[in-house]
Structure 1
């Protein structure tokens, strides 16, 4: 734990709010610059482009990534040398025959080989992600790329009828409240961003009433949440028939698969529409819902392919592996990157009028829920592994019963087993310390019949 974290954890709540607000102000100043607003304006304009004009814009962005990055990225340098090609000879029509499909394993084992050597370290930022497979990755990017990313999210908000800066309540994977805190408030305030940050790790049948009262008082314009966290509150409202005054314009969900029963419960409880979107820390694709409820690829963000197990394109309407190419991150360009998700492309257009590809169905994270010591149902535990050593290849959390959890770790030969204690400590923060944690070091972790990796597995038979 850093000194700053120790100071925060031992500070009174009003000081924690001040510290969070100060940090939020710093992020706001760095993220939402004049360039961010320029990107927002450009995206509002380009969403009305014709299919041909969008294709031209994709080609322009792709050529920019190729010319700025490929000569300075070792992994792609070797491919160009082997094929005796220059970046100028590659375009949207032939790139799939030039570059192989890039798997997470290849990226994880060669992360530095994908970094643009022309980008000076002091001008880049690193994003740590566990990925959908529980495999730690470090993504190199720039402030400019992050501002583009925020601008795309702002467009997602606009489709839902809200905007950056509107009063927002969030439920995510951050830990900003001590696990030993046993009474409200289970939330803090970032006044710089007009946001109420709600802990996803303290939600239980005993604490939900206090969350509801706080949300009523804060009166958010929208709620941005992991589906599993807000679903627990929605389920409580629906089952008890509780009358409340929480009336957001919309709910924004991401980071987990949004199940139909969750969407129905959220919309019933909060009397508004849910707008879901799928992104990735690797910044290779963005799929978001429009005003008419259709999922769309955002074509200015990245290219996509849907392939079968033999790397051949599938027919429209047939599910396949999602392969993506980023158009916004020249600091670490990922070309034909396999996210690990399965999607089905729709042949239909959308009533919204945008010429964006329509997604008929998508399968994102399907992690099971973990049951905490006090009966809380906890989802999205992968933030635990974001800052862990790259010596961890894969991890899997298995809840055997209400008192036992097994942690499986696939590590390389250099792994320091002392790091396991850090993982257990992080699990205790989120789940509780009344559970027995067992560690198994294994060579491989089996995948499901459909080839998907499950980072969390619950063997407890519980109803929704």
Structure 2
């Protein structure tokens, strides 16, 4: 249970903030807390009702889909099941890039521009409206409350996105202080930085941590190596997201902080897709999101089979994500969860991993510190960064139509600012990115970090 101030934030202060933003977050969260216990068939009926209304609105107001529906003689009112969605083609990053304006609803106002690429290595510009933000916040809020913590409980966020880190103005700092949230930048993980993070965590004694599993496990490993206790702080849960959570990371974090680790899966593009409940299952936010698993030929696979995760987000009518190919690999669960929730389960998630890299002076940094350099260059269609040694990093770049002659120089200077001016940055322009021996793609690979003992 939250303390008195935490309950005030959760029941008064945060709802007031959301109302001022014209977000209907409280009602949506309450509806979700009701519908999560519905039988699967009732949840699927809700999905179908929402899907028909969503597609009907999109077909009337979004130029790209108005034309697409006409070409395919697709009538949303004729849908008899969620599976009928399969007649529509997939939405890919290329389709979004090629139809950026046509994907915007003619009713949309106040859209926020996002530039993402993250671990997929493929930069993408898209837009998010108020409805999408509201529903994602409500879904995250619901999942947070599964773990006996709530908005307003002390929280430390270990994150690396410049969207968050660039908004640390006075208003944001005041808001975070009122909400009892502290944001720590995860880009640089030098010993001095990690010691500072540990000091902050110990001083704040948060009820929960939130961030990258690689960053939080790095902090835990450092603390263990230095004999610093983290199990006496009263942390109730560690929420991790944005990367694949490995078993050794879960074990280390759980042991050092003496609490469970709750995995989350989603992204700025695809939305808040799934979150782990205390019984261990990754529940899909089925009220808002339809998940399909497809094979290499684009055929939909049944539960229990591994394939690419495809997402339709029903709260994106301002800038629709319909059958969006995430590039991640996963498996839909076949069994219901013992927790009693009727929400479907994503039983396995693969393909999300970001390495650390090490600068020439020994500074350990999150791999996203390099990813952001590449993804902010419009001419780069996709990329892969391989840190061969402390003195050499190879960057494989697939040039896009907007690639400029000075872009390789921008890549070199950007990476040298992070890794060190003495580091050789070898930019190789290729038609296809090289894969790992396993066949899977990793977009930041550090052969240096891989040889550094945990806690270094």
* Band of TM-score, shorter chain: 0.7 to 0.9
- 1:321 and 2:335 are equivalent in the alignment: no
Aligned residue for 2:435?
447
1:139 and 1:281 in contact (8 A); partners too: no
Give the deviation of 1:170 after TM superposition. 1.1
Aligned-pair distance for 1:428? 4.8
Q: Which residue in 2 is equivalent to 1:70? A: 59
Q: Any conservation in 2 of the 1:135–1:393 contact (CA below 8 Å)? A: yes
Taking structure 2 as the reference length, what is the TM-score of the superposition?
0.85
- Asked if the contact 2:373/2:414 (under 8 Å) is kept, the reply is no
Indicate yes or no: 2:230 matched with 1:247.
no
Q: Which runs of 5+ in 1 are unaligned?
A: 1-24, 179-187
With 400-409 and 78-87 compared, the bigger mean Cα shift is at 78-87
Q: Deviations over 1:167-187 (max 9, x none)?
A: 111111145999xxxxxxxxx
Please give the alpha-carbon distance, in whole angstroms, between the structure 2 residues aligned to 1:268 and 1:363: 24
C-alpha separation in 1, matches of 2:196 and 2:271: 39
2:120 is aligned to 133
Structure 1 residue 168 corresponds to structure 2 residue 147: no
Give the distance between the partners of 2:130 and 2:189, measured in 1 at CA.
34
Maintained 8 Å contact 1:28/1:192: no
1:456 maps to what in 2?
444
3-state SS of 1:114 partner: coil
Q: Distance in 1 between matches of 2:98 and 2:165?
A: 35
Query: Displacement of 1:192 after TM fit?
Result: 4.0
Residue 4 of structure 1 corresponds to none
After superposition, the Cα gap between the structure-2 partners of 1:172 and 1:423, relative to the gap in structure 1 and judged at 3 Å, is: farther
Shift of 1:261: 0.6
Deviation string 1:332-371 (CA, Å, 9 cap, x unpaired) is 2122111111112222211110011222211141233312
Task: Note if contact 1:129-1:386 (Cα within 8 Å) is conserved in structure 2.
Answer: no
Cα pair 1:285 1:326 within 8 Å, conserved: no
Shift in Å at residue 314 of structure 1?
2.7
1:365 aligns with 2:383: no
Q: Which shifted more, 342-351 or 188-197?
A: 188-197
Query: Alignment RMSD, CA only?
Result: 2.8
Give me the TM-score of the superposition, normalised by structure 1. 0.83
SS at match of 1:112: coil
Correspondence list, 1:6-85, <5 A: 35-85=24-74
Change (3 A) 1:359 1:321: same
Hey, what does 1:200 align to over in structure 2? Answer: 186
Equivalent pairs, count: 428
Q: How does 1:420-435 map to 2 (within 5 A)?
A: 420=408, 423-424=411-412, 426-428=414-416, 430-435=418-423
1:405 aligns with 2:393: yes
2:281 matched to which residue of 1? 294
Paired position in structure 1 for 2:404: 416
* 5+ long unaligned stretches in structure 2: 1-13, 167-172
C-alpha distance in 1 between matches for 2:364 and 2:323: 39
More off after superposition, 432-441 vs 324-333 = 432-441
- Give 1:22's aligned residue: none
8 Å Cα contact 1:168/1:224 also seen in 2: yes
User: Structure 2 CA distance, aligned partners of 1:377 and 1:159?
Assistant: 32
Mapped contact 1:397–1:455 kept (Cα < 8 A): yes
Q: Distance in 2 between matches of 1:438 and 1:397?
A: 10
* Contact 1:231 1:262 (8 Å CA) reproduced: yes
> 2:120 is paired with a residue of what secondary structure?
coil
Contact 1:132-1:340 within 8 A present in 2 as well:
no
Contact 2:23 2:134 in 1 (8 A): no
